[in-house]
Structure 1
């Protein structure tokens, strides 16, 4: 695999309730919440959850859409989630995520095999939705 210096820093998800979303990602997905207290105190515009040491998911409330003026039309993306975000996990973490989602009553698709991604074909994968309808894929490679 080529050693690239470009990495994915963050993905911004539109959510109805950022605190509830952070709770979902912490409890059901196992991600570390960031800046939740600061958000509830009004010190920051949104909280985040950590995917790994280099990547986070920002949980942006739809109410800030009108302030998204960095690019014409940015506010119009509120409520239009991306097709899906894929989390690549080691085998044991994949199984643990599947168990956590089941324990929280989160519906998941069947287990797929040989789905192509950044590292080639994944051994197993499945999809689930967060409470705001954002779609996630979980996968692991051999």
Structure 2
């Protein structure tokens, strides 16, 4: 396999209420908020949550859609979630995530087995939605 230094930096998710979205990703999913205090104080345009040391999810307020002019049609993407974002967990983190979601009455799919991903075949995975309707897949590799 070719040595690849390309890394995933961030994914932008549209959020009706970025503070509520950050709260969900922190308390239900277990991700750490980034710039949440600054966002709440009006100092930055959006907060994020940290997936790992290299990757964050930006929680972009829908109110900024009209300012998305970097490419033609970018503003029309507001409110159209991506198909899904997949987060990979160790076995204990996978179990803990599912338990936190169920405690909060977040609907989760059945667990599927042996689905293909970036690291090969994942032993288990399931899906859930965040408060803005974005679909998230959680998976566990051996």
TM-score range, shorter chain: over 0.9
Alignment match, 1:39? 39
Distance 1:113 1:136 in 2: 16
CA distance in 2, matches of 1:3, 1:52: 21
Matched length: 142
> What pairs with 1:70-109 in structure 2 (closer than 5 Å)?
70-109=70-109
* Cα deviation 1:89-136 (Å, max 9, x = unaligned): 111111111111111111100000011111111000000000100000
* Greater share of strand: 2
Runs of 4+ in structure 1 off by over 3 angstroms are: none
| Distance across 2 between alignment mates of 1:39 and 1:10 | 18
SS for the counterpart of 1:83 is coil
Residue equivalent to 1:16: 16
State the TM-score, normalizing by the size of structure 1. 0.97
Structure 1: where are the runs of 5+ without partners? none
Per the alignment, in what secondary structure is the counterpart of residue 107 of structure 1? coil
Q: Calculate the TM-score normalised by the size of structure 2.
A: 0.97
2:43 aligned counterpart, secondary structure: coil
Deviation readout 1:54-76 (Å, 9 max, x if unpaired): 00000000000111111111101
1:60 matched residue in structure 2: 60
Q: Distance in 1 between matches of 2:114 and 2:138?
A: 13
Q: Distance in 1 between matches of 2:41 and 2:92?
A: 37
What is the rounded CA distance, in whole Å, between the counterparts of 1:40 and 1:9 in structure 2?
23
Distance apart, 1:50 and its partner CA = 0.3
1:19-43 deviation line (CA, Å, top 9, x unaligned): 0000000010000001111111111
